[in-house]
Amino acid sequence: MCDTMVAMREMTADGVTVFGKNSDREPNEAQYIAWFPAADHPSGTQLHCTYIDIPQVEHTHAVLLSKPFWMWGAEMGANEHGLVIGNEAVFSKIPGPKEKALLGMDLLRLALERVSTARQALDVITSLLERHGQGGHAGFTHLTYYHNSFLIADPQDAWVLETVERRWAARQVRGAASISNCLTLGSEFDLSSNDLVSFAQAKGWIKGGQGFDFARDYSDFVYTTFARGRQRCQRSQQLLKAKGKEDTIFAVFATLRDHGGKDEANFQPDRGIFDFDICAHAGFGPVRSSQTTARWWLTCTASTLCTS
């Protein structure tokens, strides 16, 4: 489980875009910071991702990644052009694909290596998704299968992208946005795959007279409910919007450390079976088997530099 957020430059006093993410994974899974320089590749080269091989491009950009040690992809990262991406596990009425394909973390790294803007990254992820699919075991020791959402940002632009199998919807960010372990895009999205609505209609998920709502019609009940993704997403949005321009950067810091407004003096992270906050701590039971194992915040300026 994770939480990712962005405040665009019009929200900050310094005119910079601020991006942050908590990566919540198994407590004993090492996640490290890795730098991969820009590189040129011979035509026809194949790239081995976590599970499958795909065609490599002729040039890849330099990237800084936060990645679980055992996979090719990354939980979050930035490239030399100031493009940043974080991903989230999301759960649908369609179970997470078990067949080995591209992990959401692979798609994240592929976009960072191949393009320089948020809009281009959206196109790369969706085209790779439609061509190769997503799937495979995404956990360390716990068998975990899920779909993915992404928050993609550069100094000028940002997008929320949510996917189920090879289907997807995307909305451009205006002001600030956050995503968590839930589908959030309802009927208001700017772009989508061609069969997003027709597939839901064929499945009978759209109730008569209600109109199509991606989050409502595609979401599962169990994982979306008990992972508290909707509550954490609402909480992070409230905290970001409550601060003025002068405090936006510090609001991102505080949001990543948030325990849901609990009394910090008496806070005990091991209490509760379903008590899963933005700053996550592992506890008893299957719902709280992960915790915040890595945290990033970055400020992106109009130059080609992203600093953390």
Q: What is the 3-state secondary structure (H, E, C) of the chain?
A: CEEEEEECHHHCCCCCEEEEEEEEECCCCCEEEEEECCEECCCCCEEECCCCEEECCCEECCEEEEEECCCCCCCEEEECCCCEEEEEEECECCCCCCCCCECHHHHHHHHHHHCCCHHHHHHHHHHHHHHHCECCCCCCCCCCCCEEEEEEECCCCEEEEEEECCEEEEEECCCEEEECCCCCCCCCCCEECCCHHHHHHHHCCCCCCCCCCHHHHHECCHHHHHCCHHHHHHHHHHHHHHCCHHHHHHHHHHHHCCCCCCCHHHCCCCCCCCCCCCCCCCCCCCCCCCEEEEEEEEEECCCCCEEC
Query: What's the mean pLDDT when you consider all of the chain?
Result: 89
Q: What is the pLDDT of residues 99-112, one digit of tens each?
A: 999 999 999 999 99
The pLDDT score that the predictor gives to residue 284 is: 66
The pLDDT score that the predictor gives to residue 236 is: 87
Q: What is the pLDDT of residues 112-162, one digit of tens each?
A: 999 999 999 999 999 999 999 999 999 999 899 999 999 999 999 999 999
Percent of the chain at pLDDT exceeding 90: 62
> Mind telling me the catalytic residues?
2
Q: What is the pLDDT of residues 30-57, one digit of tens each?
A: 999 999 999 999 999 999 999 999 999 9
Res. 304: pLDDT tops 70:
no
The pLDDT score that the predictor gives to residue 303 is: 46
The pLDDT score that the predictor gives to residue 301 is: 59
The pLDDT score that the predictor gives to residue 286 is: 63
Res. 246: pLDDT tops 80:
no
The fold of the 2-299 domain, in CATH, is Penicillin V Acylase; Chain A (3.60.60)
The pLDDT score that the predictor gives to residue 273 is: 63
Res. 308: pLDDT tops 70:
no
The pLDDT score that the predictor gives to residue 241 is: 79
Vertex 157, ends 155 and 161: CA angle to 5°? 125
Percent of the chain at pLDDT exceeding 70: 92
In angstroms, rounded to a whole number, what is the distance separating the alpha carbons of residues 212 and 206? 6
The pLDDT score that the predictor gives to residue 148 is: 98
Residue 306 banded pLDDT, cuts 50, 70, 90: very low
Q: Give the tokens for residue 218.
A: 């595609």
Res. 59: pLDDT tops 80:
yes
CA atoms within 13 A on the CB side of 185: 24
Residue 229 banded pLDDT, cuts 50, 70, 90: confident
Residue 253 banded pLDDT, cuts 50, 70, 90: confident
71 in Cβ contact with 105 (< 8 Å):
yes
